[in-house]
Structure 1
Amino acid sequence: MKIATPYYLIDEKKLLRNMQIIEQVRLLSGAKSVLALKCFSTWCVFDLMKQYMDGTTSSSLFEARLGFEKFGKETHAYCVGYSESDIRAVVGYADKVIFNSISQLERYCDLVKPAKLGLRVNPGFSHSGFDLADPARKYSRLGVADKQMLAQKLPQLSGLMFHYNCENDDLETFSQQLDRIGECYGDILRQLEWVSLGGGLYFTKEGYPVEAFSKKLADFAAEFGVQVYLEPGESAISGCAELVTSVVDVVHNEIDIAIVDASVEPHMLDLLIYRLSAKMESTNCGEHQYMVAGRSCLAGDVFGNFQFKDKLAIGDEIRFADAAGYTMVKKNWFNGLQMPAIAVRRLDGTVEVVRQFTYSDFLNNLS
């Protein structure tokens, strides 16, 4: 099936692999997994994902509503700062409402009954290669750091959330962190029903010791008598989607530069934010080197430098890997560029175009 580029292509067979690992962790450890919608909220594949996951977790009212309406199962609602109107609405969707601060808990706790209440905790340590994404950075506003004040609020709480990882694929580091949480907060956890360990744990990575990870989770849950939750985002969808583009021009300025019909800022924004290059599934070992760049007016609109087996020509396809997590949720209308369509390769191999964007979508994005 020929689809006009650019488009995002989600592969359900690749997605299924991650889902099966998530299910394996649940069966071995008892830990439940709720999808982090801030990372991935493309609901056309939720029918597959909800067979293996326990629900969703959100960062806003709209995400909580989306999780409730399109995923179902458990709906956890968290936000760094709720307004009163947010809270009055979110209680209609959420099983658990997690507050970022004690002041928000005190202000709104009476408005969210009968939802179970939680607080985010800042344990004072983290695992992150980027200061921008480090929840325990200096002056962090994310979570409660004062354990004494936290303990005073226990009668109002049923659980806690610790979100302190970003792309942590090392079991030993995770185990040491979990031990520190147990040592510091174990007395509090024993008085609660559940604990969320957040996201940022890359346990679906090829070769990750899933059984040892699951045992660590099971032992922690048993020691403190809590239901453990994980909030996988990228672990759920890594390696499952591509941004498919076509070459529209090739120019030369000391090096060969291939310009494609997509752009980094509107279509793979996370690369720009973290100053990363795009990935390709090909071996990247050809003899023809090109800088691949987007067609926006931004001078730094560059996907990266790649080696190709053959010379590139107008119309050639270039596919960028890992185009799901923190990518599709951030797409925007910068420069008024054509928004990539969304397509899914279903489990039976058929490809379905589930959404195409038109000038009308661009027109109605603002007023």
Structure 2
Amino acid sequence: MPLATPYYLVDETALDRNLAKVDRLRALSGAKCVMALKAFATWSTFAQIAPHMDGSTSSSLNEVRLGREKFGGETHAYSVAWSDGEIDEAISYADKIIFNSLNQLDRFGDKAKHLPIGIRVNPGVSHSHFDIADPARPFSRLGEWDLARVEQAMDRVSGFMIHCNCENDSFESFAALLDAFEARLGSFFERIDWISFGGGIHFTGENYALDALAARLRAFAEKFSLQVYLEPGDAIVTNTTTLEVSVLDIVENEKAVAIVDSAVEAHMLDLLVYRESASLAPDSGPHHYVIAGKSCLAGDVFGEFDFPAPLAVGDRISLLNAGGYTMVKKNWFNGVAMPAIAIRRKNGAIDLVKSFDYADYVASLS
């Protein structure tokens, strides 16, 4: 019997395709890859993903603990700002800790001096199509940009994190950024042991110049005699996950609007944040519909799509690319039913691995 919608469906075979590219990049470049849990933290998939990675990286205490307990390998701890109440616990889970600012290094560095310590450096340039995701935007709080302040950290750190890519699917763009990093920061690179270039490099995308990326990373590492890290997250799960929904009603108001048993703000929040449309395939045919959610938000719209046949109540729709920055952001807005989580195994079987009910909704509040 088919699972009741809504649910997220992760496909193991699609994951394998991306992980094969991770394997190739690691082998050719010598770079290490740590999973960015901020993008995807569905730990039921970690047994498949972790053997192809070198560990995980975090943006919070909860993520660093999850990485330590569920992922394994190296556990990198980063946060925009650690608090007094969480720093000791974060250090206890970490193999490396990265401070966002000299202030944080000054405050907590002694506590972590038994670990490799890094600092985030903001090179002042980035690749991002969206101001909201641009770490080099004016007045950015993400990393130290003043080289005099970076110099003050150098006797206490062994590595840097430079994270300034967002959905960068162009090798040429990344290579140009790396050239800019070398021009501005090369004298610092000669004095560190490791560097993380963060995530946002979509090297698992179709037709990405993966071998060229690997060669560039290897040349950089050899030039400065350091270990390169990447922090893929969304790249690991791109085109692996769908949000399965059902049509509840169809209303007409100059356009046909199909209302489904999900909500954009609750289940695919990034679409609203970045003002983008969902995608589905094949998105072709003579019947045009607005696909909208069931919340009270007027703009709860997944997008407009074409179908080969008229939609009817009960029809199922698969919304594509619902893995990265989607499942980690799901919420209980309007009390709309939370999508379950299912995995399509390599043999085609679909296993329900997590479902949510009223008790979960109540427990999220007080």
Name the TM-score class by shorter chain: over 0.9
SS at match of 2:93: coil
Matches within 5 A, 1:4-43: 4-43=4-43
SS at match of 1:56: strand
Is 1:326 matched with 2:315? no
Structure 2 unpaired stretches of 5+: none
Cα RMSD over matched residues? 0.8
Greater than 3 Å deviation, 4+ residue runs: none
1:351 shift after superposition: 1.2
Give a deviation string over 1:94-135, Cα, whole Å, max 9, x none: 111100000000000011232210000100001000000000
What is the aligned length? 366
Distance in 1 of aligned mates of 2:149 and 2:203:
33
Distance in 2 of aligned mates of 1:347 and 1:78:
34
1:184 shift after superposition: 1.6
SS at match of 2:126: coil
TM-score by length of 1: 0.99
Is 1:311 matched with 2:305? no
1:171 shift after superposition: 0.9
Give a deviation string over 1:276-323, Cα, whole Å, max 9, x none: 11011x221110000010000000000010000000001000110000
SS at match of 1:156: coil
- 1:163 matched residue in structure 2: 163
- 2:118 matched residue in structure 1: 118
1:76 shift after superposition: 0.5
Matches within 5 A, 1:83-102: 83-102=83-102
Q: What amino acid maps onto 2:171 in structure 1?
A: L
1:88 shift after superposition: 0.7
Is 1:340 matched with 2:339? yes
Determine if contact 1:6/1:243 at 8 Å carries over to the other structure.
yes
- 1:272 matched residue in structure 2: 272
- 1:146 matched residue in structure 2: 146
Distance in 1 of aligned mates of 2:328 and 2:233:
12
- 1:172 matched residue in structure 2: 172
Give a deviation string over 1:212-265, Cα, whole Å, max 9, x none: 110000000000011000011111110000000000001101111100000100
Distance in 1 of aligned mates of 2:219 and 2:290:
49
Q: What amino acid maps onto 1:319 in structure 2?
A: S
Distance in 1 of aligned mates of 2:229 and 2:131:
25
Distance in 2 of aligned mates of 1:349 and 1:336:
32
- 2:50 matched residue in structure 1: 50
Q: What amino acid maps onto 1:219 in structure 2?
A: A
- 1:70 matched residue in structure 2: 70
1:152 shift after superposition: 2.3
Matches within 5 A, 1:279-294: 279-280=279-280, 282-294=281-293
Distance in 1 of aligned mates of 2:238 and 2:36:
13
Determine if contact 1:40/1:233 at 8 Å carries over to the other structure.
yes
Determine if contact 1:95/1:115 at 8 Å carries over to the other structure.
yes
Distance in 2 of aligned mates of 1:197 and 1:64:
18
- 1:296 matched residue in structure 2: 295
TM-score by length of 2: 0.99
Matches within 5 A, 1:248-267: 248-267=248-267
1:155 shift after superposition: 1.2
Identity of aligned residues (%): 52
Distance in 1 of aligned mates of 2:329 and 2:166:
18
SS at match of 1:85: coil
Q: What amino acid maps onto 1:249 in structure 2?
A: D
Distance in 2 of aligned mates of 1:182 and 1:18:
29
SS at match of 2:338: coil
Distance in 2 of aligned mates of 1:262 and 1:255:
20
Distance in 1 of aligned mates of 2:211 and 2:32:
15
- 1:82 matched residue in structure 2: 82
Is 1:189 matched with 2:189? yes
SS at match of 2:289: strand
Distance in 2 of aligned mates of 1:126 and 1:176:
10
Determine if contact 1:78/1:98 at 8 Å carries over to the other structure.
yes
Determine if contact 1:87/1:112 at 8 Å carries over to the other structure.
no
1:347 shift after superposition: 2.1
SS at match of 2:52: coil
